Amino acid sequence: MKILGMLYGMAIGDALGMPSELWSRRKVKDYFGEITEFLDGPKENDVACNFTKGQFTDDTSQALLILDALKETKFVPKEEIIANKLLEWANRTKAFDNNILGPSSKAALFAIKSGENKKLITDKALTNGASMRIAPIGALFHPKQKQDLAEYVYHVSKVTHSSDVAVGGAAMIAYAVSAAIFDKPWDEIINGSIDIYHVAKQRGAETFTASMPERLRLAVHFADSHKGNQEAFCQRIYDVIGCGTTTSESVPAAIAIAYYARNVKDCALLCANIGGDTDTIGAMATAICGAKEGFEKINRHWVEMINSENDINLTYYAKLLRANKFYAKGE
């Protein structure tokens, strides 16, 4: 039930963070006061205005589309199949016109659609499109399989994101999910996420950015030094680590928030209220907490909202992941 917990955590964090997506922390506070439940996307938010309460966004949608693509190829990643699935979804949802796609994914998919060389885009992609949709891949691997996981993350991600930063950040999220499913201690989740970054980044095209391992270490320090003071912790993450759309901000922020919250409810609400890329940080962080906590402990009202407001069967995807895992023994 930990894999199912991860999937619902991802969807819940995404949907709760949707209304405040890409608004500043001040604006989130001024408009909502505090988000405590699923809400419609405000008409004033041109990114969230087309969503209603309980609906998840492109983060969860793309994560599940990738699983659909992998099923077709018996879980051997095929770039063309993944690209076709993403393009079909983008065309069906009018994602190119409705401001649904992130900038790197939008540009890469448009290049594929136009028959252009997408590597000119994907090799420089520093945004979090690969990380936001990678959580389910962590369920396929044992946390000891760092090399295998890093390689798999690269092949799944490179359709839109092939930079060292994007691949490294996605591997950090996938590893954290894997370790959480196997109920590893939080310190091991953090240290393993840092370790796999150095393994995974070697597979991507070289770019430059602030160090994600160092940002994560600092973010964990903030979590430890602000125990019992959520407001102070979140403000430090927002001000110093950053909650923007770049991988180097949102990935260490998400892992640190999961480390601080340690359960789905608190994690999803912290992410929804923190400001910035709230739905993506929520999807990543709360997937980790869902994997650690397990499905049984997730608020049943929230589960029912995800089920009723999204045309999807997450139990089906949990069974699919369990049936195709790359380690010998299950959870």
**pLDDT at 329 (0 to 100):** 46
Query: Does 183 belong to an annotated binding site?
Result: no
Kindly state the tokens that stand for 210.
């602030």
**pLDDT at 325 (0 to 100):** 95
Query: Does 266 belong to an annotated binding site?
Result: no
Measure the CA–CA gap between 105 and 96, rounded to whole angstroms. 10
In a domain, 311, yes or no: yes
Query: Does 277 belong to an annotated binding site?
Result: yes
In a domain, 94, yes or no: yes
Taking each helix axis from N to C end, the angle separating 264-274 and 278-293, rounded to the nearest 10 degrees, works out to 170
Residue pair 264/290 in contact (Cβ under 8 Å)? The answer is yes
Largest alpha-carbon pair distance within the chain? 53
In a domain, 181, yes or no: yes
Residues 6+ apart with CB under 8 A from 41: 18, 19, 21, 47, 48, 49, 50, 51, 52
In a domain, 277, yes or no: yes
**pLDDT at 55 (0 to 100):** 98
In a domain, 330, yes or no: no
Range of the domain at 13: 2-323
Q: Can you give the pLDDT of all 331 residues of the chain as single tens digits?
A: 999 999 999 999 999 999 999 999 999 999 999 999 999 999 999 999 999 999 999 999 999 999 999 999 999 999 999 999 999 998 898 888 777 888 888 899 888 888 889 899 999 999 999 999 999 999 999 999 999 999 999 999 999 999 999 999 999 999 999 999 999 999 999 999 999 999 999 999 999 999 999 999 999 999 999 999 999 999 999 999 999 999 999 999 999 999 999 999 999 999 999 999 999 999 999 999 999 999 999 999 999 999 999 999 999 999 999 999 998 644 4
In a domain, 15, yes or no: yes
* Residue carrying structure tokens 């991802």: 10
In a domain, 193, yes or no: yes
Other Cβ atoms less than 10 A from the Cβ of 153: the count is: 32
In a domain, 329, yes or no: no
**pLDDT at 14 (0 to 100):** 98
Residue pair 123/166 in contact (Cβ under 8 Å)? The answer is no
Report, in angstroms and rounded to the nearest whole number, the Rg of the chain calculated over CA atoms: 18
Which candidate, 154, 22, 170, places its Cα nearest to that of 100?
Answer: 22
Q: How far apart are the first and last CA of the chain?
A: 9
Q: What is the DSSP string of 176-220?
A: HHHHHHTT--HHHHHHHHHHHHHHHGGGSBP-----HHHHHHHHH
- Rounded to two decimals, the pTM is 0.97
Q: Which residues of 3-35 are buried (b: 16+ CB within 10 A; e: fewer)?
A: bbbbbbbbbbbbbbbbbbbbbebeebeeebeeb
Q: Find the length of the chain.
A: 331
Query: Does 68 belong to an annotated binding site?
Result: no
CATH number at residue 88: 1.10.4080.10
Kindly state the tokens that stand for 256.
């640190």
Structurally, the chain folds into a number of domains equal to: 1
Which candidate, 30, 234, 3, places its Cα nearest to that of 139?
Answer: 3
> What is the 8-class DSSP label of residue 40?
P
